[in-house]
Amino acid sequence: MVEISSENVLAAQIKLIRKYLKFKIIEDNVSFRGHNQERNHVYDLMKRSIVNGESHSALMIGPRGCGKTTLINSVLNQLSKEVDLQNDAIIVKLNGLIHHDDKIALKSITAQMQLENAVGDRVFGTFAENLSFLLSCLQSDTRHARSVVFLLQEFHMFCRSGRTQTLLYNLFDVTHNKQAPMCVLGVTNQIDVMELLEKRVKSRFSHRHIFIFPYEEAGAGATQKSPLITCTKVLVQLLSMPIVKKESKKKGRSRKKSTATEEMETDQADYSIPEVVLERCKVNSSQFAQLDPGFVEDWNAHILSLASDDKVTDALEKLCYYTVNEQIFRDVLFQLVSQLSPSKPFIDANDLSTTIDKAVAPEHRVKLLQSLSILELSLVIAMKHGLDIFDGQPMNFEMVLHRYTKFANANSSTQTVPRPVILKAFEHLQELEIIMPVRSTDSIYNTGETTASRVQKEYKLYTLAVPIEDISEAVKTFKALPTEINHWYNNSVD
């Protein structure tokens, strides 16, 4: 009975830790680390717009997964504690992938400002008139207008060619002419986004750029961080639990574990989930008070030892080599945390290394080849055999069709496919860039010209863009591949 009860206690502790870490890894989009100077810049712009009624515009630029949106959420969370955001400001969020049209954007702006009743059935001649009316509706009886903060995600999508940049022009024009207190903050991962802006938009923009680059810290005396050190720190921060403080402490704890706990005392604030995140997820934080302090200390000591493991160090170094996107790393940790159980209460270094390998360095080309239809893979094999016969010379569709037809006629079990279907499958291979058109070398007018631009599509020359080793691996590990095709690939070419 004692063993059963102890197992139940262990299962309950692991369930709580697993639940807490899942919220911490996936839901916590408020906690922001590093880039203090850039964060202070954004905080200063928003606060001056909300408190002092100033108008500002800025662009935040950085690669995906570097923390641009988290920085903004962190600033908004801090401002919500200092000022009355609900009554003094309105946060309007637009996304270039969704609000690609001025009408759609205006509809979303009106809804987020909660001015649908004020607009009613009014008809406006231009976008500017509509926006001016919305801003005028925010004017209170005391003639103090509420500040509006526009957050434009995927900012470069608002600048695409073929689209009028009326939205951007009018937003920047309001900040430029100070018609109403407004802060416009664009977020993009495209570093040359300024080249996409029209001249009239550029003239209204403040040309204030905030760059967020991974592993870099701006400011006096700041040095560039090692990617491995940063990644290891993120591992410890995301997987460590906040110490549950209780008056009575269990005796008999080893000195080693106590020392490990003391090393993490300075970062306890980083290990806890902000209360606003738990409230958004409708989670009662009191349930985590049931965690045993001794078990939490053991867990944190295990995470520190995991971070210093050589296998983990090699895996993290590989992760840093392939990507700077922290969200990929969070997905890896989420998978490891989800596997915790009473039979496996701690994270194994081998599991971490294997999960990272699958996440950032899988055989993408092999998986792509195995996702093809049997017909498309047969055309790839036919082209591979043709390249062997012609010593690597490029092939056109007719040559590939000839080799495929020869194989199909020799195997009665192979289903007959009409020529247009085969041509469509061949074109799909080109779209996936499994085969690539051969560039022309005899054009003196256009060095980038390809044979595909001057020849009928059935006679355009192509070559394989995937290594032969990947094709061999795909055929070898393709469980649903018919035996005839496997035999055809492995046979010598005649």
Q: Is the pLDDT of residue 37 over 50?
A: yes
What one-character-per-residue DSSP string does 216-242 give? ---STT--PPPHHHHHHHHHHHHHPPP
Q: Token match 């807490």: residue?
A: 20
Q: Is the pLDDT of residue 99 over 50?
A: yes
455 within 8 A of 347, measured Cβ to Cβ: no
Distance CA 470, CA 475 (A): 9
Output 324 or 140, whichever has higher pLDDT.
Answer: 324
* Same-fold call for 36-211 versus 367-490: no
Enter the DSSP assignment of 58: E
- When pLDDT is cut at 50, 70 and 90, the band that residue 174 belongs to is confident
pLDDT for the residue 414:
66
- When pLDDT is cut at 50, 70 and 90, the band that residue 142 belongs to is very low
Q: Is the pLDDT of residue 449 over 80?
A: no
- In 3D, which of 34, 43, 72 has the Cα closest to residue 224? 34
- C-alpha gyration radius of the chain: 30
Whole-prediction pTM value?
0.70
pLDDT (mean) for 20-45: 90
**410 Cβ contact list (under 8 Å, min separation 6):** none
What residues are paired with 60 via a beta bridge? Answer: 187, 210
What residues are paired with 56 via a beta bridge? Answer: 183
The string of pLDDT tens digits covering residues 225-250 is 688 888 888 899 899 888 755 443 34
Q: Average model confidence (pLDDT) for the chain?
A: 81
pLDDT for the residue 407:
86
pLDDT (mean) for 381-389: 88
Enter the DSSP assignment of 1: -
pLDDT (mean) for 135-156: 77
Q: Is the pLDDT of residue 204 over 80?
A: yes
pLDDT (mean) for 149-154: 92
Distance CA 129, CA 179 (A): 13
The string of pLDDT tens digits covering residues 341-356 is 888 888 999 999 888 8
Q: Where are the domains of the chain?
A: 36-211, 224-360, 367-490
Please name the helix (run of DSSP H) or strand (run of DSSP E) that holds residue 177, with its range, or none.
helix 166-177
Would you identify the CATH topology of the domain 367-490?
Answer: Arc Repressor Mutant, subunit A (1.10.10)
- When pLDDT is cut at 50, 70 and 90, the band that residue 486 belongs to is confident
User: In the CATH scheme, what is the homologous superfamily, with its name and number, of domain 36-211?
Assistant: P-loop containing nucleotide triphosphate hydrolases (3.40.50.300)
Q: Is the pLDDT of residue 479 over 60?
A: yes
Output 141 or 415, whichever has higher pLDDT.
Answer: 415
375 within 8 A of 362, measured Cβ to Cβ: no
Distance CA 285, CA 305 (A): 28
